[in-house]
Each structure stands twice: as C-alpha cells, then as structure tokens.
Amino acid sequence: MLKTLRVMLIPNNYQNTRLFQFAGTARFAYNWALEQEKKNYEAGGKFINDYELRKRFTEFKQEADNKWLYTVSNNVCKQAVKDAVDAYKKFFKGLAEHPKYKSRKRSKPSFYVDPIKIKFTETHLKLENIAESKKKNRQSVNWFRLAEHERIPIDAKYSNPRVSYDGFNWFLTVGIEIPDPKPVVSSNDGIGIDLGVKDLAICSTGHVYKNINKTSRVRRLKKKQRRLQRKISLKYEKNKKGGRYQKTRNIIKSEKQLLRLTHRLTDIRTNYIQQTTSEIVKREPSFIVMEDLNVSGMMKNRHLARAVQEQKFAEFYRIMRYKCSWNCVTFITADRFYASSKTCSICGNIKKDLKLSDRTYHCEHCGAVIDRDFNASINLYKYGKSVINH
Ligand SMILES: [Zn+2]
C-alpha cells in the first residue's frame, strides 16, 4: 500500500536560493516542452513523445546561451519535460484542455527529484546537486534540516518525490510503500457519519464534532482576514494610475500578511479534520458509512456552498476513506439518492417536505422527535448494516 508523506524543510539562505533556481529551471523546461509540442502541432505535426523531446532538450542545453541549465540536477528537467508531455498527451487524446504555461507569478514553485538519489536520516534530507561545486568540503549543503524528526522512514522505497514551496516554506512530498495492514475482524458496531452545517460531523454513536469555524479563535482570524482584504482593495483603488492597478510596497506587504493568515486558517481546518477522522477510526468500528457527497450539487445552493467549502467536506470524505483502508475498516458510501435526512430512523416513513431550516425531525407517522443530523446518521448506519448483511 502506498502512503504519501509530507515534511517541511528548513533551508539556509544558500539552499533557499538553490531551491528557487531548481524550481525556476523546472518551470522553464516544462514551458519549453509545451511550446515544442504546440509549434509542432500547429505545423501539422503529430504528438512528440517523451523520449524524442528529451533528446531535443539535451541538444538545446548544449547551445551556448543555455549552459545555465546545467547548474541544476539533470533529473529536474527530465521530469519537467515528461510532465509537460503527459499533460499534452491528455489534451491530444481529448481528455483535457490545452495545458497552460506555468507563469512565474501564478504557478507554485516545485520540482521533481530522483527517488534513488534522495537520502534520509532522522533529522536531515539529502538532495542531489544542491552544492554547485564538486569539492568535498562543499557537499554538506546538500543536506537539509527537517522540521519534524523521524517523520519519514529511513531506507524505505521512495516514489515520486516532489519539492514544493507554498509561499512560506519548502516541503518534500514522497510516496512510501508500506506493508498492507492485516485484516482484523472488529466486533464493534459500525458508525454512520452525517456531515452538517451546524456541526461538522454527527455519528450514529451519538458523538458530535463541532464546526471549528464557529469557535472564537477561527472567528477572530476570519474577521482579521476580511479586514485585511478590504484594506488591500482600498489601497489598490487609491494607487490606481491611469486606470491601471499598481502594486506598491505596502500592498505587497499586506498581501503577504493575508497569505499567512489564509494559510493559518487552512492549517487549523485541515488539522481539525485529521484529528476528527483519527478519533472516529480509533473506535475500531467494523464499518463506516458516509453519504456520497455530491459537493458540486451542494455548491449550487448558496446557503450550503460556504459551509461546505469552509468545512472541507470533500477533504473529510477523502481522509476518512483512506484512513479506513489503512486500518482495514470497511468504508461504505451511501447512494446519493438515498434519503438519509428525509427518512425517519425509527419507523422508516419518508417526509417529503423536510426543509433545510428544519433542525429537528418530527415524524408524522410515529410521532418521533429527533435531531435532524442525528436521525440522518442513524439512517446511514442502517444503510451500512443492510449492505454488510447482503
Ligand atoms: Zn417515524
């Protein structure tokens, strides 16, 4: 089973500069490859394959003006060309739109490293060719400090390692092959989980996980974020010259502040989902049931869209599912047309006119009064039970 891990790097000044050089070169090679494909196609040619394009890139590198491309590790460009070819291939087969060029401003700086060439210790990571000189006493700059110790196993089989910059820090993401978990037959009952607007997750066991966006900490940050956004747009208006927006030093500073704030909010929300899903899995249920999140459908409802986005429903579903597979818990997705909210969990009667604003479920048939989301989670649990018993 493949597990993807991410760890933050702590580069020194020299290393930091080199990482940006690597990412810049990768971007250049990607755009170069895309341009070759495009020109070739417009001239009536067919798709150029990866092998051919890499050969041409090597020739291109040897031209007098392009010697600078030799300052970074060879694998960086090789993979960037391959990525461009893959993206173009998808377009060529009609599976995707024409790939976009990576702009300096918009694209996220990142590059690939050869999995065979990286090395981990408990505290450091070695990347290839960060040192520009081959001298022995310069080779220590190839070693990066890691923000978390012993996060990545030493001597594992690594796949597709990528280094990327999120606007503040550099990260390494790497796939690691781990042995499949032994199936354990849990004697515990299953759990149905309903995701909601008021609370994040309501379990059929009665556990409720609150909406983190309603805590004072997140509210304060959100308020700060809104204020900053307003300030920036006002500054843009004020510095408009001849109908065009200008970036001033002050604006750049505030935008950096805003980015930092946005990151913090994202971190808090993601972290909360990680904790919640872990806690649910730790109860060792025999199965977990969730609704098929037709998120795009929910996004059309303006009332729901914001909550879905802020609470990262899709992320919750994705993480819950892989955590189940890691821990050998059966994961069941209830059909999108299964009326988990409208059905009475006690008698099975379906209430057609249930509104989103009805927080309590009143059953006309058996007279049951039950919290709307809790009712849905029990229905999801029952759905799972019927699937298992089939
Ligand atoms: Zn009923």
Question: Tens digit of pLDDT for each residue in 278-296?
Answer: 999 999 999 999 998 765 5
- Rounded distance from Cα 137 to ligand 1 centre (Å): 77
Which DSSP symbol is given to 241? B
Residue 54's pLDDT is 92
> Range with the lowest mean pLDDT among 26-35, 145-154, 295-304?
295-304
Q: At what angle do helices 302-311 and 313-326 cross, to 10 degrees?
A: 40
Grade residue 245 by pLDDT with cuts at 50, 70 and 90.
confident
The domain limits of the chain are: 2-177, 191-389
Which sign, positive or negative, has the C-alpha torsion 165, 166, 169, 170?
negative
Residue 297's pLDDT is 62
Is the pLDDT score of 298 beyond 70? no
Grade residue 309 by pLDDT with cuts at 50, 70 and 90.
confident
Which DSSP symbol is given to 184? -
- Rounded distance from Cα 381 to ligand 1 centre (Å): 16
- Rounded distance from Cα 289 to ligand 1 centre (Å): 22
Is the pLDDT score of 377 beyond 90? yes
DSSP run (H or E) holding 318: helix 313-326
- Rounded distance from Cα 307 to ligand 1 centre (Å): 29
Distance CA 244, CA 293 (A): 42
- CATH fold, domain 191-389, is Nucleotidyltransferase; domain 5 (3.30.420)
Tens of pLDDT along 84-105?
999 998 888 888 888 999 998 8
Residue 296's pLDDT is 59
Would you say 68 and 93 are in contact if contact means Cβ atoms under 8 Å apart?
A: no
Strands laid side by side in the 2-10 sheet: 110-112, 158-165, 170-177, 2-10, 143-146, 124-126, 119-120
Would you say 363 and 318 are in contact if contact means Cβ atoms under 8 Å apart?
A: no
- Rounded distance from Cα 196 to ligand 1 centre (Å): 21
Residue 382's pLDDT is 94
Burial of residue 366 (number of CB atoms within 10 Å: 0-12, 13-18, 19+): exposed
Is the pLDDT score of 333 beyond 70? yes
